[in-house]
Amino acid sequence: MTSLQNSPTIHRTLLHNSFPQKLPTSRSPRRDAVSFTVKAAHEPSASLASQDRQRRRQVIAIGTTAPLLFLINQHSNAFAAENKKGFLSVLDKKDGYSFLYPFGWQEVVIEGQDKVFKDVIEPLENVSVNVIPTGKQDITEFGSPQEVAETLIKKVLAPSNQKTKIIEAKEQDVEGKKYYQFEFIAKAPNYTRHALSTVSIGNGKFYTLTTGANERRWEKMKERLQTVIESFKIFDV
């Protein structure tokens, strides 16, 4: 795959010379924490019989609620486990990133890429990660999602002789960090690849993760590929 054979030199030239330059925005999304406090209710003085009835009602209420809470908790845990079925995880503590990839894909070594996993039967079904140094502090310094997508696709992610089309480009905030995600199609003479990419900046590095599949298998693979994209996270090292 040509899209997996670009050297780090191309990426460095791209980052320094190709992107439209913009000043970083100062946004600091946060998630408000919500806490729940259970307070004991204090009833005024009453007869022993009244207090006994009150205690019985509390016991009945607890007995009714506990199984429900248990079932909800079990359902949540099962859902979380099911969400990861069929995937294996990658944790790179050196470069500071993690992601999931479909079970059965095999790791291959390709020059210029930090990590590559692919299906040996369907080689267009793969995921690659590229990490290069950058002096930028935020992905928005390179421009809007659309601008970054156009530059990366034309100069890095697809050969110049392929016709490309951007389907969607958007920004996402995850735990205070900005990611650009985009979906695109690259048409070669004998095949069409449908791909997803996500890019971000952290640890003084520019991260690019790209995954995709042959267009004829897109409908079958798109949910799994979307899981790969959504799972990509950068952490401080």
159-172: pLDDT as tens digits:
989 999 999 999 99
3-state secondary structure of 139: helix
Topology annotation, domain 2-22+86-234: Protein Transport Mog1p; Chain A (3.40.1000)
User: pLDDT tens across 99-130, in order?
Assistant: 999 999 999 999 999 999 999 999 999 999 99
> Is pLDDT above 70 for 39?
no
User: Of the candidates 103, 130, 135, which has an alpha carbon nearest to the alpha carbon of residue 16?
Assistant: 135
Average pLDDT over residues 187-200: 97
Say whether 114 sits in a helix, a strand or coil.
Answer: coil
Mean pLDDT over the full length of the chain: 78
| Cα–Cα dist 8/131, whole Å | 8
Q: Assess contact for 115 and 92: CB atoms under 8 A.
A: yes
Query: CA-CA distance, 164 to 193, in Å (whole number)?
Result: 10
**Res. 132: pLDDT tops 60:** yes
**Is a pLDDT exceeding 90 seen at residue 134?**
yes
The per-residue pLDDT for 60 is: 46
**pLDDT value at residue 22:** 45
Domain boundaries, the chain: 2-22+86-234
Tens-place pLDDT, residues 42-89 = 444 444 455 555 555 554 444 444 444 434 344 333 333 334 799 999
Centre a 10 Å sphere on the Cβ of residue 85 and count the other Cβ atoms it contains.
7
